[in-house]
Amino acid sequence: MNESAFPHEDIASLLKWYVDHGLDETIGEDAVDRFALPPPAAAAPAVAPPQGAVAPTPIRAALQAPMVRAPVPLESPQLAQDARDLARNCTTIAELEEAVRAFEGCALKRTAKNTVFADGVAGAPVMVVGEAPGADEDRLGKPFVGVSGQLMDRMFDAIGMSRERDLYITNILFWRPPGNRTPTLAEQAVCLAFTRRHIELAKPKLLVLAGGTAAKAVLETTEGIMRLRGKWTSLKLDDGTEVPTMPTFHPAYLLRTPASKRQSWLDLLAIDKKLKEVGAK
């Protein structure tokens, strides 16, 4: 191939464009099971000895190949239990953040640039929990700082609230999934132990779950966001406390579906009303 047909400047510009749009790795069409055992080797066909010849008697029987044990997946149930034990021992948000940053039990940490823990004011009346960091969040190390986060800021500003004063913001995952894919159930299970303890330590008056993934994971339900949004529920935490909880659309969904902003506005009005009822506004 003639290299002059593809100048290095054009290739570099194309790669930069990919990275700016969050395309920082290639993914094949078919999923690959990295933990599957290799297929057994095919036995060589038996060759009959020449007519009249006597087959040699083997000196000893062939040794059986040792059994190969499949490696344990990184996000195993034991790691989820380790995360729960670690989170339970944290008595402050600062200790929890330190534990999350030191935790090595989630494979997503190996592909992410930053650990994205939280933003806003710890102890604020409203805590927002989203799904996972995106490209901008991974780059800056803060949740909801991209285009969808800017939309969320404007939405709460419409009811007189801001992340600098009234909001505490995090995600159920602290590391960006490659290509912004939906996090697996194993990844959610490992990180959710920290998230639940995070809610306990933050002690919000109200909890807002942004998007279907966050709502289903935190509320431990299979119902979709279309059924869940706009309905108050009570989240019971491991320490026995209960938090009024409102699932709502993720701002990224509203950017793709502007017609749903009307429903989100009704959710915001309900949040504003509930804050006044509990004396937090």
pLDDT digit string (tens) for the chain, length 281 residues: 454 555 666 677 777 666 665 566 666 656 556 556 666 665 555 555 566 555 555 545 444 444 443 443 455 678 888 899 999 999 999 999 999 999 999 999 999 999 999 999 999 999 999 999 999 999 999 999 999 999 999 999 999 999 999 999 999 999 999 999 999 998 999 999 999 999 999 999 999 999 999 999 999 999 999 999 999 999 999 989 999 999 999 999 999 999 999 999 999 999 999 999 998 87
Contact status, residue 75 vs residue 189, Cβ threshold 8 Å? yes
* Distance (Å, whole) CA 10 – CA 87: 48
What residue type is assigned to position 39 of the chain?
P
* Distance (Å, whole) CA 124 – CA 43: 67
Three-state secondary-structure class, residue 126: strand
Model confidence, pTM: 0.73
- Please name each of the domains of the chain with its CATH number: 77-277 (3.40.470.10)
* Distance (Å, whole) CA 98 – CA 22: 27
Contact status, residue 94 vs residue 140, Cβ threshold 8 Å? no
Contact status, residue 200 vs residue 241, Cβ threshold 8 Å? yes
Three-state secondary-structure class, residue 106: coil
